């Protein structure tokens, strides 16, 4: 893609509020959109808020240095849920990121702008971050592929944190092959999605319930024939991960919550104050539970290559009701931030609003290869 074409599409779809700022980059190369909590030299990093200094970053974040070494160009910084602490990208400062399939609905968050940039062809691929589902939720709601790599795979130096022990950077793109290439560029880890074979896939027993009808129909389309397998009870990693996120986010924002609470949107301020109220003993127990879960999940995954389950329980909700939808949007994503597993979100070929499925694996390459096999198989499905 040419930078000029990417910028033309950004202007054409300005009403979707996908970008906060546009880069001065020029030249030829792969065009990448960057979530605006990642430092890009010469550009202001807002993290979707209005508290951080307005001075441009002096140097690129580590991940930007990595992709520039591969000839990538930055087209701009994408809009997001304020400080990445939400699942809608209904940003009070830079406008709500609107779903390209229905602009009255949310794009999902917190990497909503990155998902929209990919879905509308504003870039070749985009960088998002994922702490509780922030790549996978907008990927599902906007109908693009996203990848949350194994925790720690990509350097987060120069990235505004939400929860430093859970934060993960990852790519978003139109297809698995592009996501795999982008991941290698971002991480330096070589992966291959060539000559893939049928993976051993299981559905976690007792996890998939409470879906809205469009999501349920998509699930029926792709889940038939895959066996149920024993896996940890869903609420355990969900609850532990939420406790850790709340405390670490409140720790980072503690001074600003006191000095300038009026500069936060009401939903984010409420979540940050909730984090301040968590007891130290509950945080310590959540960290112990996380260690136990990691060991149990390793055992649960011994005889399979990947799990398959929905990314969200609902399709994109209307913007005006989206504040009520945190749990059904994070129900299936948050547990895998706690376990640290790599996850691909993969669109199902359905009519109407997009629906995405999660492919949850053990290694980055194995997860991407399983997703590639499913992507090819699903091309023949008839909704």
Residue among 218, 209, 161 at smallest CA distance from 345: 218
How far, in Å, CA of 135 to CA of 207, rounded?
20
**Distance (Å) of CA 303 to CA 187, 195, 230, 269, 292:** 28, 21, 11, 43, 19
Which one is catalytic: 21, 23, 35, 184?
A: 35
What are the E-state strand segments in the chain?
19-22, 30-35, 72-78, 90-91, 95-96, 98-99, 102-106, 125-130, 145-148, 168-173, 201-204, 228-229, 306-310, 343-347, 356-360
Active site residue 187: no
DSSP assignment letter at 52: S
35 assigned to active site = yes
Active-site hit among 111, 134, 163, 322? 134
> What phi and psi values does residue 57 have, to the nearest 5 degrees?
-65, 140
Look up 134 and say whether it is catalytic. Answer: yes
What's the longest Cα–Cα distance across the chain? 56
User: Annotated catalytic residue: which of 21, 23, 89, 110?
Assistant: 110
Q: Which residues are catalytic?
A: 35, 110, 134
């Amino acid at each position: 893609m040419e930078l000029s074409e990417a910028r033309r599409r950004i202007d054409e779809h300005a009403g979707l509020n996908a970008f906060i700022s546009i880069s001065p980059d020029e030249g030829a190369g792969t065009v990448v959109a960057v979530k605006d909590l990642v430092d890009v030299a010469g550009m202001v990093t807002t993290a979707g808020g209005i508290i951080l200094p307005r001075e441009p970053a002096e140097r690129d974040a580590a991940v930007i240095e990595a992709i520039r070494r591969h000839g990538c160009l930055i087209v701009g910084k994408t809009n997001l849920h304020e400080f990445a602490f939400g699942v809608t990208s209904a940003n009070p400062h830079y406008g709500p990121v609107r779903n390209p399939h229905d602009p009255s609905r949310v794009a999902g968050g917190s990497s909503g702008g990155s998902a929209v940039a990919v879905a509308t062809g504003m870039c070749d691929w985009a960088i998002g971050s994922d702490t509780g589902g922030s790549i996978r939720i907008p990927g599902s709601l906007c109908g693009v592929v996203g990848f949350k790599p194994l925790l720690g795979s990509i350097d987060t130096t120069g990235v505004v944190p939400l929860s430093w022990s859970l934060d993960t950077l990852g790519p978003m793109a139109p297809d698995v092959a592009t996501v795999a290439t982008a991941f290698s560029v971002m991480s330096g880890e070589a992966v291959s999605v060539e000559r893939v074979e049928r993976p051993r896939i299981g559905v976690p027993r007792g996890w998939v319930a409470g879906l809205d009808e469009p999501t349920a129909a998509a699930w029926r389309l792709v889940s038939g024939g895959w066996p149920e397998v024993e896996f940890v009870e869903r609420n355990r990693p969900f609850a532990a991960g939420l406790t850790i996120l709340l405390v670490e986010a409140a720790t980072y924002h503690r001074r600003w919550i006191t000095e300038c609470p009026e500069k936060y949107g009401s939903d984010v301020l409420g979540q940050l104050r909730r984090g301040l109220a968590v007891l130290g003993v509950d945080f310590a127990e959540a960290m112990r539970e996380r260690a136990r879960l990691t060991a149990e999940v390793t055992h649960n995954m011994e005889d399979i290559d990947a799990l398959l389950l929905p990314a969200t329980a609902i399709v994109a909700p209307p913007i005006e009701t989206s504040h009520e939808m945190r749990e059904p949007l994070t129900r299936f994503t948050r547990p895998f931030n706690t376990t640290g597993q790599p996850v691909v979100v993969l669109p199902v070929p359905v009519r109407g609003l997009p629906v995405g499925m999660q492919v949850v694996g053990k290694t980055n390459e194995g997860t991407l290869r399983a997703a590639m096999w499913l992507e090819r198989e699903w091309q023949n499905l008839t909704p």
